[in-house]
Structure 1
């Protein structure tokens, strides 16, 4: 298990470095994606609150 853990750690570090480089290389697209994800999260939170409010009013 020690060898497998070391391999997994090295692969994880390499993927983190590559991901960081990709974010740096495509920063305008990353900013647009984050803005879109924030919008989707707000939309889903609003939808949940609407459903929750409707369920409360039903009681």
Structure 2
């Protein structure tokens, strides 16, 4: 099981999991991909970028809004 160090990282991981995303911590950066289609994997993301992508996806969904 992967360790997320801060509350912010844990919250992003929980949101990603609920929305069928896979979030991995790689050093001080993150990898994000959707477990089902419709999202190009993103790598080398900051926690801020992860939060923005997840919030946008949450608002727009797989259909783009």
Q: Common fold, TM-score beyond 0.5? A: no
Answer 1 or 2: higher relative contact order, Cα 8 Å, separation at least 6.
Answer: 2
By percentage of residues, which structure has more strand? 2
Larger Rg: 1
By percentage of residues, which structure has more helix? 1
TM-score by length of 1: 0.30
TM-score by length of 2: 0.27
